[in-house]
Structure 1
């Protein structure tokens, strides 16, 4: 069973626990794609890993990520991943691609949690 943090714990501590748990979950699946994340927040920012993860979980191919290191490329890639989730009827509570590209902790955790609930 999943423990959604200890409600009594301070938020950063709770985030740290979730981050560790979610990173383990993500890496367990990414292993099938010979891929892994070190830092959940920074490694999902360019959309590449997020795309791989969704492909592994769904068994489907997503649009090829745009190559490039600029913010606009990352936004485009994360956008494709979020679009795919919408097509999978996954309800994303006000998460925008910029939130993930900017490494927003709460929204990145929220996104991964949503993916876990949908695919596990």
Structure 2
């Protein structure tokens, strides 16, 4: 077997239903219970979506690095995720539900009957 053929054998195909595209779409289709997160966990999640390290997150929030790790562990558990990467994806896909400024703007626009942007 040629090396190229060998790699194709182990690469999931779209027909198998296990490709990365399908996993990403599942995250989008199944809205996670973001309302179960505390305010601080939402802050951590929003920053996590920017790809920041735990050390930088800790500095930005003025907390210990191990506290950041604990928040991330709680976020992953509460949202039923498998990894930090999934949490970062959720942070980007559902940013408007996590970011306090964006959420307040959306609530104001709904209250005044303005369309959401």
TM (normalized to structure 2)? Answer: 0.30
The structure with the largest alpha-carbon Rg is 2
When you count helix as a share of all residues, which structure comes out higher?
Answer: 2
